[in-house]
Amino acid sequence: MKRTSENWHPKTGAMTRQRKFATRIHSRLWCRKPARMPIVFVFMLACVLAFPQVSQADEWNEGPLNCSMSIDLPHSPGQNKPEDVPTALPKGKRLVLKDGTFHLVRSYERLPDPNHPASSGRVRFYSVERSAWEEIPADLVDWEATRKAELEEAERRRLSMEKLKAFTAAQQSSNIDVDSSIEVAPGVFLPDAEGLYVVQGRVVIPLAQAAADLKIDKGRVLAQVLSPIPIVPTRHKIQIAGKRATLRLVPAQGEKLAYPEFYIRVSLPEESRESASTEAEPNLELVGAQVKGDYRILELLSTYVTGETEKKRNSITVERWKVARRVYRLTVQQGLEAGEYVLAEILPEGMNLYVWDFGVDPAQGSFPQKR
């Protein structure tokens, strides 16, 4: 074969056209053999499956590079996203001008003007809006209005700080149940449960309620029957069965009289539970009971023919303080002698028949105890 410039490769010394033709014929003969058909089929299937990915990659490479792409950075649940973070407003003070406008500046200083010594000088300030130092003639500034604006801004900040402190204190106090840990004596705390408690020394004892009865005086009924004229009033008695209360108190060592302290933890009424600010203060009264037979008489109610009612009971003065939310403290002004007593709730319609009873024993030099 004649060597020409078209088919002769100058470096390899091979004929390019003839080599390509021989390679094509050899490939066809290799693929036509039956044993090699599965290999060809697998190769063609792999090319078909890889074609979509190659196409997507080509489209990605052919498109222009978008430099404004947004990248979602990972963030923890407790952190705010960049769009949730509020942008702080520029803070500064006003440099008021005589024409009514002002510059919002971070700081300013008054400087003499070397070019005009007789003038009022110049004002050099750092502009918050433009973030740069600037100068203007001092004659343009309304100094009185500037000082007034500074005083108003200082007062506004003071009021804002006071409101913020009050709001923070209210939020903190609303989440703390201050009445759940009340120290009634050194190292002695009031129980969390609702009810009435008596404190004597270092002992806190809950008082149980006793049910009183309203009984009519049979002696008065007999007197009314024997009297021809209805002038004998009807009398009822509020009394408790039993001569002695279960709970017994004794005076402190070296004392002849007892000076107990009472604490009551009240509950909110059902209609007021939604509004925690509504709280009904208990109206408790200490009453000395009169032991007669197997009963302790608390009150005598006399009803006259005119419809008037007279109440007689041995009331003992007590002082009441609000210790915490829903907690009240009751103390006696005078010492209690040996006898039977009750703490009764006085309602508008009269004494509540469910009372807290206790007794005081003579001094024995021991702490109060139940018997």
Domain ranges of the chain: 1-31, 90-163, 183-370
66: its two tokens: 């978008």
DSSP single-letter state for residue 272: G
pLDDT score, position 118: 75
* 11-25 mean pLDDT: 53
Query: How far, in Å, CA of 202 to CA of 253, rounded?
Result: 13
Query: In which band, very low, low, confident or very high, does the pLDDT at 88 lie, cut at 50, 70 and 90?
Result: very low
* Contact (Cβ atoms closer than 8 angstroms) between residue 329 and residue 263: yes
| 89 has pLDDT over 80 | no
pLDDT score, position 136: 92
Q: What is the pLDDT of residues 47-56, one digit of tens each?
A: 666 554 444 4
Run of H or E including 302: strand 295-303
pTM higher than 0.85 for the full model? Answer: no
Residue type, position 270, single letter? E
Q: What is the pLDDT of residues 321-332, one digit of tens each?
A: 888 888 999 999
**Closest Cα partner for 358 from 185, 266, 240?**
240
Query: How far, in Å, CA of 60 to CA of 148, rounded?
Result: 63
Using a 10 angstrom Cβ sphere, with 0-12 exposed, 13-18 middle and 19 or more buried, the burial of residue 280 is exposed
pLDDT score, position 349: 85
Query: In which band, very low, low, confident or very high, does the pLDDT at 242 lie, cut at 50, 70 and 90?
Result: very high
| 208 has pLDDT over 80 | yes
* 300-324 mean pLDDT: 83
Query: How far, in Å, CA of 35 to CA of 124, rounded?
Result: 94
Query: How far, in Å, CA of 357 to CA of 212, rounded?
Result: 10
| Partner residues linked to 205 by β-bridges | 198
pLDDT score, position 182: 84
83: its two tokens: 């769009």
